[in-house]
Structure 1
């Protein structure tokens, strides 16, 4: 591993999911992001390979009947339509591996201060059902696993354009895991849950107002809750060119947002596990360029010259 770079976690199975032609989910983005990082000069051996979690482990945050139905392929067709993917063994293995990836990212962050997962952010998965391309909730699973190891409070800081409704529901009675979501109010899901901290921004929200909301929210949350660990969902579907986002925010704003979050936590010596979250441009090259802003912020934080190679 290059000590000047934060740990990165990736598995090739993230993009190895056969989907129907013209499916809305940009499944190839994980591979193109990985390839872009290699092209920037990140060594292939710097990426940590995650292992899939065992299905029974998920019962800590998900209903056992739901987990079994999904893993065994006996889940109701209507439930799969709500998730948005056709069922397959490949889908289940990919999902279990991605959950293992977010947990591995958190474990690396605990020792290194910061780690980034080239997947994750499946925040629409509830205790007993999936939704919005999310089968199992990696943010919830990772936070709960860390809590059982004696770490807490834990802040889940979710800046995806869609509210982290599943995460909020799972932890509605857990006072040591703080859920925070800054999202587009007039966007999916239509029915919002109650996070510990919710800000729904309007579709005409300006770059400055958005960054102000992020800065004030994060500062308040860090001051009030004094978290020992932060899980950061750096969704880029807030971008003005995103097909599902509805906001008009620029790449520069996303770069500033990611820098602000990572620097704020570093200044307080709070470890951060970051996941790339949502992003739905059909142009994978353009989408990759926006996702790279998280890595630019992470590389610059560690003093790596590679951050300067990423365009804002």
Structure 2
């Protein structure tokens, strides 16, 4: 068995103001941690892949072309850039295109290998004609539309377990009957307005590990059985953790592992390929996020019996 991992060093190459809330270094730190602990560059069962940037034309096929033109040329009004949450730079645009290309590649690898993981991705707050919440373009929606072009893929399900509702994904794909959006999130968290996904599991503030897993395990098998997706895109955000600074849940590290294992094992039992992205997680000390995101890789390795 082989576990493909997708990564590019550019993911952490973005100059941000001091004390900026976005943990930009976590991607580099996660890659280095996996190399230190698993020797991923020489591991016999892990293959590393480096993406190409997604094309502007492909982005414009999903997003409003006027928005993308203004975004890429630094012509967005200041208020719209503030809504995104990043200062504009060429570096930001380059990184965004590369990360979206990484999620697209992860879908291709999942289709080929059955399971793949992107060490970035999950920019689910980007809407058709505006960005929001550190998200410029919606890599999950882009990847889902791409997945529908692959042989044997007629239905895609996006299982979004980031603590924040996948509002941009829900609105962009609202009229796409072949993509099922399934958001598991905190009901009293960002964004304030939560449009309907195909399926929404909204949980209260301070939801515990046991409550989270019981609720999710009760719905996931039914969702997979009802919609029978040919491929799943899984956003494994770790901002459900009890110490996350933007989360408001009370889920422990073991709970994150069990959630990831639940998604990957259920899909594997059903023969459904999974393209997973690491999603959100917010701590001022970026290193504290690394072990949380690593739970996804540990779960995948155990399911594939890679040791």
Which TM-score tier does this pair reach, normalised by the shorter chain?
over 0.9
Larger deviation, residues 281-290 vs 100-109:
281-290
Within 5 A, what are the aligned runs for 1:1-312? 4-44=1-41, 46-149=47-150, 151-305=153-307
- Aligned equivalents of 1:54, 1:286: Cα separation in 2: 34
The RMSD of aligned alpha carbons is: 1.1
- Aligned equivalents of 1:5, 1:27: Cα separation in 2: 28
How far did 1:5 drift?
4.2
Larger deviation, residues 153-162 vs 282-291:
282-291
How far did 1:284 drift?
2.1
Unaligned runs of 5+ in 2: none
Partners of 2:3 and 2:113 within 8 A in 1? yes
Q: Describe the superposition over 1:209-264 as per-residue Cα deviations: whole angstroms up to 9, x where unpaired.
A: 21012112211111100100000000000000101001111011001000111000
- Aligned equivalents of 1:125, 1:67: Cα separation in 2: 11
How far did 1:54 drift?
1.2
How far did 1:302 drift?
1.3
Describe the SS at the equivalent of 2:106. Answer: helix
- Aligned equivalents of 2:290, 2:150: Cα separation in 1: 35
- Aligned equivalents of 1:60, 1:186: Cα separation in 2: 33
Partners of 2:163 and 2:240 within 8 A in 1? yes
How far did 1:181 drift?
0.4
Partners of 2:16 and 2:87 within 8 A in 1? yes
Q: Which runs of 4+ in 1 moved over 2 A?
A: 41-46
How far did 1:44 drift?
2.4
Partners of 1:124 and 1:165 within 8 A in 2? yes
Change (3 A) 1:252 1:43: closer
Describe the SS at the equivalent of 2:157. Answer: strand
User: TM-score, normalising length from structure 2?
Assistant: 0.96
Describe the SS at the equivalent of 1:82. Answer: helix
- Aligned equivalents of 1:82, 1:39: Cα separation in 2: 37
Q: Describe the superposition over 1:155-189 as per-residue Cα deviations: whole angstroms up to 9, x where unpaired.
A: 00000000000000011111110001010011000
Partners of 1:234 and 1:276 within 8 A in 2? yes
How far did 1:285 drift?
2.3
Q: Describe the superposition over 1:19-60 as per-residue Cα deviations: whole angstroms up to 9, x where unpaired.
A: 001101000000000000101233326320001011111112
Describe the SS at the equivalent of 2:130. Answer: coil
Alignment partner, residue 309 of structure 1: none
User: TM-score, normalising length from structure 1?
Assistant: 0.95
Aligned residues: 302
- Aligned equivalents of 1:263, 1:43: Cα separation in 2: 22
Alignment partner, residue 308 of structure 1: none
